[in-house]
Structure formats: C-alpha cells, structure tokens
Structure 1
C-alpha cells in the first residue's frame, strides 16, 4: 500500500511541477558568443519568456569548440526545465559528422523544445580584393590556388564555404575562429579574404561599406536585399545554405514542462521584439512543435552528413 501511494505521489508530482513551472530563474546556455545571431535570438526569446513568467532569464554564453563546450554543459544539467540549451545546426547536425567523438549526443542528450529562427547567409569579401561578383572571385581563386582564405566561427559558416569550394572546384584555405565576430574582424583587417556569414554580424559592415557583399545563400533573392544576387544565379547552380537556431532541454525533462516551454516560445514568437529580429536580420520564423524540431533535425543531420563527407570536413 505504501509503495502504491508512493507511485501515485510521483505521478502526480510531475503535472504539479509543470503547473508551477517556472518557480525560479531560468538559465539559457548558448553555444556561441555575445553579439552573434544565436546570442541575439536567445536573448530576444529569453526576454519575452521572462515577461511572460515573471521569472529572471539568464543567458550564459559558452563559446568554443564549435559549440561542444556549451552542449556538454547543457546536456549535464538537471532535467528540470531550469537550464536550457539555445543552439544551431552546428552542435545538433554538423558536429557528429565532423568529430570522431563528442561528450554529448545531439539526439539522446536533449529534449527538443522548439525551433526559433531560420536564415540565409551573406557571402562577403574584404574591400581591397579585386572581385566584385561570385564569378570574379572564383576566377581569382582558380588563378591563385591555395592562396585565398575563408574564415569561419561556426559550423554553418564553415559548411557554406566548404560547399562553395567543392561546387566551384576552388582551392581555398580555411581559417577557424572561436566566434563569427572574430572572423569578421579579421576580414575587415584584411587578414582573410572571404566569409559566409549570418546577417546579424555580416550584413552591417557590408551595408556601411567596410566589406563587399557578393551574394546571398538563399534560393531566391531576399526582399529588401535585392541588390545581392543569389550564389545559385551567380554561376553556382543548385547552391543553397541556411542556418537555424532552436531551443532544447536536457534529456529526461518531463514532457509537461517541455510543452510549457514550447508554449512560451510560441508566444514569444508573436512579440514585437521577435518580429523585429526577423525583419532586421531578414530571417524566417521557424517555430513549431517539439516533434517538428526533432524531424527537422533528423533531416538536417542527413544533409550535413553528405556535405561533411564531400567537403572533407572531418577532424583527424
């Protein structure tokens, strides 16, 4: 009888915990540094969740090792909804194909909560590079094999450049950075030649003339940025690259709490701040159910397996 009462109490405790959730501050661990697209999206969603719940939401940046530091930390957190993981395809779809071993499992270590944003990239070069179009850059790279370099501060940036290198049959030197803003800084300083970047950190220096934008990686031109052709229409047929952000909880987080978090993210996606985020960064809403995110992650994992293999991105 005591065992029965204990089991009933345990079953009732989860819904009760979910009903009271959140009862204290929430921490959101992000895989990349301050000022990145991931960080800004996390802060936008986190701020609205704080407004909705009346609880403090703290953003903790843990950049480095292509998001592995943040992913490992989030995966090891208590599955109670008070530590969340805000990340991208880098940790959830690319890393398992690049590295022989990871201290986390992109699928087994996390409970999907919701997708957040989807966005293309801007292909940008240093101002003094004698290339004003994608075709001119390709010609320059082929004339100087192994001499031109691309920088990347995350997996999607590297993936975009590697896919471009393969599809254009050019020999480019890859230079890794801890964060994307660091890569942008070196491009502006003339230390590297080209970057595939999210709009958040890449577009401002292009629009103010500190760097030159060659193209965007979406399939069609982006409204409001019509001056930039797509890579596809610039002589690389079939080229397309998107980056995404999403929220996860540690594996084992009770489903009622995951559902409540999903509802909070859905509501946050209606906020003026979120809509402004999409407008200013030319993004697309990517909010759905936990099942939608799980299915999308599976398809992305399959896609990136092919890209990593073809581009030779595997680490020794």
Structure 2
C-alpha cells in the first residue's frame, strides 16, 4: 500500500487572535505576557499529545517568566476543546494546542461541527509532527501487517479496530480502503480506553500515536506492526513503514 504519510501536526492555535494579532490596542500596548498563560489540550492526560504539550509548557515557563498551565478538555474528537477555546477572551493568554489534521478532519467527520475553525482560529505555529501506528496486542497472533490483513479479510465485517483521535480514524479508513478489509471502526473517548479494549481481546487492532504506542510496546503490552511514514523512525528503526510494506 502506498498512502501518503499520515502525519499529525501538533499545532499551536490561539483563541480567535493568536499571538495577539487581533487583540485590542490596549492589550498590544502592554508587555506580553503580563499574566499566566493557559494551554488547552484536546487530548487526555498521559496521551502522546499531552506529553508533548506539557514538555513544551515546561520549556516555555523560564522564557516567559510566567506560569504556563495545561488544561485537558477531552471529547467529541476535539470539539469540546474547540468550543471552549472559541469562547475564551481573545487576549493571547488562552492557547489551543491541537492536532492540525484532527481540526481539519472534524469539519468533515461531523455533520454539524460546532465551530468553523478556519474562521474562529489563527495558527500561531507548529511544535511537532508525528505519524500514527497500526498496533495489536502483544498477545495477538499477528506478527506482521500482512498477517493482520490476511486475517481481517477472512473475518470480514466481524473484525473490529479501535481509534480515539480523528487522525486515527482517517488512518484506519485509509488502511481499510487500500487493503479491502471490512473491519468495523469503534471510536473511543481516549487512547487508553481503546488500548484496554485491544488488550482484552475485544478489538483486533488499533491506530495509536507514537508517543503512546512506543511506551506501551516498551512495557510489553502492544506490538507495532507499521508506521504511517515514508521512512522508518529513529525511535523505532525495526518498525516497517506502510509504504515499504507495499
């Protein structure tokens, strides 16, 4: 299979007026920052995105000499966080940190997205890019993506896989479309929720972000079968890419 590299950009998006670009003149006249900054993360505590946001916040604190608070607003594919941030005061002190692909995907995955993100937010920057991974339980009999694909074709629509993030939903559908499998997608509120179902044997496979998946593989709970990049990751040189697997 040769899908495009399914990378998730973790973007920094400020509510309505990123980096004070649309803030009132009185705010611009003040020294920034003059108060604490809040990062709103659309992913749960302990997730790959959350780890990155907290790392970034920790590095930012000594630079801005202010407290940088991370708040998790989880659910509805990020739409809960989107609505929350859209109502925040546009003063540059509420910063939305979300996956750019998830933000874009939500406009197409939901019939009535709560907010038109293209109009409500302005991108301030990108702090990271990361792929998604096709995973199975470490106890699974499938050792390769080819073995998983063959088994899923035999199971037809009785096969199931779990996802939480919108990007994972898209990657799962790309995998299905390219291979012709009929696995049913099961959407969970968080990555750990889908992991628990995967480990219990209720799911055949999952699509997880690398920070989360690599940690679980190191602990002997997950097996990563493929990564959605064109080249192998330095953090996992033994993991084949979906591109090289054909």
Q: Same fold (TM over 0.5)?
A: yes
Q: Deviations over 1:47-78 (max 9, x none)?
A: 22221122111111010000000011101111
Do the aligned partners of 2:78 and 2:103 also contact (CA within 8 Å) in 1?
A: no
**Aligned residue in 1 for 2:169:** 158
Cα distance in 2 for residues equivalent to 1:83 and 1:21: 13
Matched, 1:39 2:50: yes
**Larger fraction in helix:** 1
Q: Which of 69, 92, 116 is the matching residue for 1:58? A: 69
Greater CA deviation, 132-141 or 185-194? 185-194
Q: Deviations over 1:16-53 (max 9, x none)?
A: 12xx1111111111111101122111111212222112
Matched, 1:68 2:86: no
Matched, 1:234 2:235: no
Cα distance in 1 for residues equivalent to 2:24 and 2:239: 56
- CA distance change for structure 1 residues 168 and 23 in 2, over 3 Å: closer, same or farther? same
Cα distance in 2 for residues equivalent to 1:33 and 1:138: 30
- CA distance change for structure 1 residues 44 and 139 in 2, over 3 Å: closer, same or farther? same
Instruction: Give the gaps of 5 or more residues in structure 1.
Output: 1-9, 236-316
Cα distance in 2 for residues equivalent to 1:224 and 1:126: 20
Q: Deviations over 1:276-308 (max 9, x none)?
A: xxxxxxxxxxxxxxxxxxxxxxxxxxxxxxxxx
The two structures, once aligned, show a CA RMSD in angstroms of: 1.7
Instruction: Give the gaps of 5 or more residues in structure 2.
Output: 1-22
| TM-score in terms of structure 1 length | 0.67
Matched, 1:209 2:209: no
Cα distance in 2 for residues equivalent to 1:131 and 1:211: 11
Q: Which runs of 4+ in 1 moved over 6 A?
A: none
**Aligned residue in 1 for 2:11:** none
Do the aligned partners of 2:136 and 2:206 also contact (CA within 8 Å) in 1?
A: yes
Cα distance in 1 for residues equivalent to 2:126 and 2:140: 37
The count of residues paired between Structure 1 and Structure 2 equals: 224
Larger Cα Rg: Structure 1 or Structure 2? 1
Do the aligned partners of 1:29 and 1:61 also contact (CA within 8 Å) in 2?
A: yes
